[in-house]
Structure 1
Amino acid sequence: MEFLQLKYFQAVARLEHITKAAKQLNVSQPSLSNSIQRLERKLGVPLFERQGRQIQLNAFGKTYLKRVEQAFLELEEGEREIADMAGLDHGVLSISVTLPYVLPTLLKEFLTLYPHIRIIQRQLGSVHEMRTELENADIDFCISTTPITGQTIEWLPLVKEELCLTVPKGHRFADRESISLIEAANEPFISLSSRSNFREITDGFCRQAGFEPNIAFELEEVSAIQTLVEMGLGITFTLPLALGKRASSPETVQLKITEPLCQRTFGIAWNKKHYLSQATIHFRQFVINFFGKD
């Protein structure tokens, strides 16, 4: 059994599409098809159901994919253990963080202590994406405002914070300190896309208050949302900790929401079966200290 042959099978099995897999692997479609056929002959069973150009994993294929991915994961874990023998000077860790404005400060302080650790950030939108990446050991940690749970996932709460309503400085609510959310029922909201977990949370708070939010703008970037609010084009939900220094922008006002209680818990999640290097262990402890220092 060839290593490359198994990588080819993994790609085709995940995509269930020969052409897309060939493009991803940068190989010709005939070569990829031949490799899969040789593997099937070696195993003595078909791994896919084929109907014209459409392919789909069958029961044999699903079982084999599970084993192949476990084998690759073991090899990757071995590589990480070997790399870790070099210590903190050569560490690498990958993270997903849903707190965009706190991330630069967090990383700056961490890299001041451990300047040789390389950090890879993944931009993930939903809890499902984060859970999948953790379960597959594609990332080491998720820091998010939503608990991430799973059979192999550990979730550690870090700090609680209440959402605020951010309005432009010239808004009719701008001279107030607090607001009941129902008062904003007819206001234009500027929000993250509907696929984001934070959007699900804020829409849920609006429904709890008794209305569907009027979404005037739907954006992918939190920074763009804050800019539009500063321009006076609408209002938005924010977490002051997630905004960092931008929470004190002179162009906006943060209003406490008195009803309903709009509270989220920041936490960090990791795969407890995934090997943690010295770099990742130091990072986890640093994050715990970072959020607990206030």
Structure 2
Amino acid sequence: MELTYLKTFCEVAKHGSFTRAAEILGYAQSSITTQIQRLEESYGAVLVERFGRSMRLTIAGEALLPYAKSVIRLHEESKEIVSKQSKGTLSIGTIETLAAYYLPPYLQAYRQQYPDINIMLQPGNEPLIIEAVKEGTMDVGIILDPPFSDPELHTVVLREEELVIIASPEHRFSALSEVRAEDLSGEPLILTEDGCTYRAMLLKVLRDGEIDSKPSYEFGNMEAIKQCVVYGLGVALLPRIAASEEIRKQQLIALPFNHPACRFYTQLIYSKKKWQSKAFVGFVELIGEGNHQNH
């Protein structure tokens, strides 16, 4: 039985579509159909059935899926061992803030130690990153969350990340030493995108406190948020590292957000099933230097 068929089967299972699997794998749709049929002949069971407009796994298909993933994973491990671990790809899932303002010096140091490893940085929000690390489509995730734990994952707490309310220097907050939730009553808020953990925390704090907030803008781009704050269009809650340059240039002021829920940590996650190559261990050790705690 060809490994190719199992890879195709996993893609069909993931996307619920022969068409989408064909696009991702670069095959004609008829080729996908043939490969699944041959896999079914080999196992003597129907593995995929049509359900409405999509495809879904049968009971037999569900039983096969974890084995198919394991076979593919073992094949990747064997290739890396045979090639003496000198080449390959390390896929890192993280949020925009950490990709832009936290990771670059670590990536530079890693590249010097492992010049033949291709680093693939994949942006996303925390739920997507966590799921991808569990599924094995990302090697590691670097998230910004309250202390996180999951029975399937190892978590390395790297550092606490200070969250601040940023405002223009002319804003009334310039007279304060910190911002409390009630201070945000009636303030135009410039929010990060939906799915951002600290955005969800802020909105929950305001909702629970019955504080009248005014979300005015929402951006998936950190630079856009900061520019709107610079121009006095509102205030925003961001990690200090994301605005450190503008704070240094006195384009923005930054005040601690005083609330018990505002404790966020940069954390590295990877699957407990993950085979740990020399290059993988090298990355975990490099980024975990200094004070951290394993869970």
**Structure 2 length-normalised TM:** 0.86
Whole-angstrom CA distance in 1 between matches of 2:285 and 2:51:
52
The one-letter code of the counterpart of 1:129 is L
Distance 1:171 1:197, change over 3 A: same
Question: Which residue does the alignment assign to 1:219?
Answer: 219
Whole-angstrom CA distance in 2 between matches of 1:160 and 1:221:
23
Residue 276 (structure 1) shift: 2.0
Residue 230 (structure 1) shift: 1.4
Native 8 Å contact 1:131 1:150 kept in 2: no
CA deviation vs aligned residue, 1:59-88 (integer Å, no higher than 9, x gap)? 1111112211111011112223334543xx
Distance 1:265 1:37, change over 3 A: same
SS at the partner of 2:284? helix
Residue 96 (structure 1) shift: 2.3
Question: Which residue does the alignment assign to 2:141?
Answer: 142
Whole-angstrom CA distance in 1 between matches of 2:247 and 2:68:
47
Whole-angstrom CA distance in 2 between matches of 1:166 and 1:92:
37
Question: Which residue does the alignment assign to 2:3?
Answer: 3
Which shows bigger deviation, 44-53 or 8-17?
Answer: 44-53
SS at the partner of 1:4? helix
Distance 1:12 1:105, change over 3 A: same
Whole-angstrom CA distance in 2 between matches of 1:60 and 1:263:
45
Question: Which residue does the alignment assign to 1:27?
Answer: 27
Question: Which residue does the alignment assign to 2:252?
Answer: 252
Question: Which residue does the alignment assign to 2:170?
Answer: 170
Native 8 Å contact 2:186 2:212 kept in 1: no
Whole-angstrom CA distance in 2 between matches of 1:36 and 1:25:
14
Map 1:1-294 to 2 at 5 A. 1-51=1-51, 53-86=53-86, 90=87, 92-98=89-95, 99=98, 100-111=100-111, 117-126=117-126, 128-146=127-145, 147-211=147-211, 213-260=213-260, 262-289=262-289
Which shows bigger deviation, 135-144 or 256-265?
Answer: 256-265
Native 8 Å contact 2:94 2:129 kept in 1: no
Whole-angstrom CA distance in 1 between matches of 2:249 and 2:207:
28
SS at the partner of 1:76? helix
Residue 51 (structure 1) shift: 5.0
Native 8 Å contact 1:84 1:91 kept in 2: no
Residue 208 (structure 1) shift: 4.5
CA deviation vs aligned residue, 1:213-254 (integer Å, no higher than 9, x gap)? 422111112222112211221110122135443443421100
Native 8 Å contact 2:165 2:236 kept in 1: yes
The one-letter code of the counterpart of 1:207 is R
SS at the partner of 1:280? helix
CA deviation vs aligned residue, 1:2-47 (integer Å, no higher than 9, x gap)? 2222222222221111222222222222232232223223322211
SS at the partner of 2:80? helix
Cα root mean square deviation, aligned = 2.5
Distance 1:106 1:63, change over 3 A: same
Distance 1:10 1:208, change over 3 A: same
Structure 2 runs not aligned, ≥5 long? none
Distance 1:209 1:158, change over 3 A: farther
Structure 1 runs not aligned, ≥5 long? none
Distance 1:111 1:42, change over 3 A: closer
Native 8 Å contact 1:84 1:278 kept in 2: no
The one-letter code of the counterpart of 2:91 is S
Distance 1:51 1:274, change over 3 A: closer
Residue 155 (structure 1) shift: 0.8
Distance 1:141 1:213, change over 3 A: farther
SS at the partner of 1:174? helix
Distance 1:213 1:68, change over 3 A: farther
Whole-angstrom CA distance in 1 between matches of 2:277 and 2:205:
39
